[in-house]
Structure 1
Amino acid sequence: MITLANRMVTVSYHPSVMDVFDKCVRRRDIELASKDLPFYRPIEKRLPGGEVLVDGRAVLMAGSNDYLALSGDPRLQAAAVEAIRGLGTGNSGSRALNGTLALHEKLEEELAGFLGHEAAMVVSTGYQANLALSPLFGPDDVLFADRHVHASLVEAVRLGQARFRRYRHNDAADLARMLATADPSAGRLILTEGMFSTTGDLCDLPAISDLARRHGARVVLDGAHDIGLLGTYGGGVAEDIAVDVQTLTFSKCFGTIGGAVTGSRRVIDYLRYHARAALFSASLPAACTAAALAALDIIRGEPERRWRVLAAAERLRAGLAELGFAVVPGRTPTIPLHIGDTPLCLRAWAELLDEGIFTNAMIPPSVPEGRALIRLSVTADHGDAHLERVLDAVAAVGRRLNLIACAGAR
Structure 2
Amino acid sequence: MANFEYLAEELNQLKQDGRYRELSVWGSGCGTWMELGGRKVLQLSSNNYLGLTSHPDMKRAAIDAIDKYGVGSGSVRTITGTLNVHDRLERELAAFKGTEAALVFQSGYAANLGVLSSILTSDDVVISDELNHASIIDGIRLSKTNRKIYAHKDLDQLEQRLKESANYRTRVIVTDGVFSMDGDIAPLPQIVELCEKYDAIVYVDDAHASGVLGKNGKGSTDHFGLNGRVHIQIGTLSKAVGAVGGYVACEQVLKQFLVHKARSFLFSTALPPAVAATCISAIHVLQASSDRIERLWNNTAFFRGELKKMGFDTGVSETPIIPIIVGQPAKTMQFSDALLAEGIFAQGIVYPTVANDKGRVRLIITAAHTDEDLKFALDRLEKVGKAFGLI
Change (3 A) 1:29 1:40: farther
Q: CA deviation at 1:30?
A: 6.9
**Counterpart position of 2:330:** 343
Which of these residues, 340, 343, 346, is aligned with residue 353 of structure 1? 340
Matched, 1:153 2:140: no
Alignment of 1:108-147 (within 5 A): 108-133=90-115, 134-147=117-130
Matched, 1:42 2:42: no
For 2:158 and 2:247, the matched residues in 1 are separated by: 27
Change (3 A) 1:92 1:335: same
Of the structure 1 ranges 24-33 and 202-211, higher mean CA displacement relative to structure 2 is found in: 24-33
Q: CA deviation at 1:329?
A: 6.1
Helix, strand or coil: the match of 2:122? Answer: coil
1:89–1:286 CA contact under 8 A, matched in 2:
yes
Alignment of 1:257-296 (within 5 A): 257-296=244-283
| Unmatched segments (≥5 aa) in structure 1 | 1-9, 12-18, 405-410
Given residue 131 of structure 1, which amino acid in structure 2 is its aligned partner?
Answer: L
Q: CA deviation at 1:326?
A: 2.6
- The percent of aligned pairs where both chains have the same amino acid is 33
Which of these residues, 46, 53, 58, is aligned with residue 35 of structure 2? 53
**Counterpart position of 1:194:** 177
Q: CA deviation at 1:233?
A: 3.1
**Counterpart position of 1:243:** 230
Matched, 1:71 2:58: no
Change (3 A) 1:30 1:272: farther
Q: CA deviation at 1:284?
A: 0.5
Matched, 1:91 2:73: yes
Per-residue CA deviation, residues 246-283 of structure 1 (Å, 9 max, x unaligned), is: 11111111100111111001111100100011101101
Given residue 101 of structure 1, which amino acid in structure 2 is its aligned partner?
Answer: L
Of the structure 1 ranges 224-233 and 98-107, higher mean CA displacement relative to structure 2 is found in: 224-233
**Counterpart position of 1:408:** none
Matched, 1:299 2:282: no
Q: CA deviation at 1:392?
A: 1.0
**Counterpart position of 2:201:** 218
Helix, strand or coil: the match of 2:211? Answer: coil
Q: CA deviation at 1:25?
A: 2.2
Change (3 A) 1:392 1:37: farther
**Counterpart position of 1:81:** 63
Given residue 208 of structure 1, which amino acid in structure 2 is its aligned partner?
Answer: I
Change (3 A) 1:96 1:29: farther
Which of these residues, 139, 147, 163, is aligned with residue 146 of structure 2? 163
Of the structure 1 ranges 385-394 and 181-190, higher mean CA displacement relative to structure 2 is found in: 181-190
Q: CA RMSD in A?
A: 1.9
Rg (Cα) greater in structure: 1
Change (3 A) 1:47 1:140: closer
Helix, strand or coil: the match of 1:375? Answer: strand
For 1:27 and 1:130, the matched residues in 2 are separated by: 29
1:191–1:221 CA contact under 8 A, matched in 2:
yes
Per-residue CA deviation, residues 135-172 of structure 1 (Å, 9 max, x unaligned), is: 11211111111111111111111111111111111111
Helix, strand or coil: the match of 1:71? Answer: helix
**Counterpart position of 1:16:** none
For 2:13 and 2:259, the matched residues in 1 are separated by: 39
2:42–2:343 CA contact under 8 A, matched in 1:
yes
Given residue 382 of structure 1, which amino acid in structure 2 is its aligned partner?
Answer: H
Per-residue CA deviation, residues 15-45 of structure 1 (Å, 9 max, x unaligned), is: xxxx6x4431232477449xx9654101111
Change (3 A) 1:331 1:118: same
Given residue 321 of structure 1, which amino acid in structure 2 is its aligned partner?
Answer: K
Give the TM-score normalised by the residue count of structure 1.
0.90
**Deviating 4+ runs (over 3 angstroms):** 28-33, 36-39, 328-331
**Counterpart position of 1:366:** 353
Give the TM-score normalised by the residue count of structure 2.
0.94
Given residue 74 of structure 1, which amino acid in structure 2 is its aligned partner?
Answer: P
Change (3 A) 1:383 1:331: farther
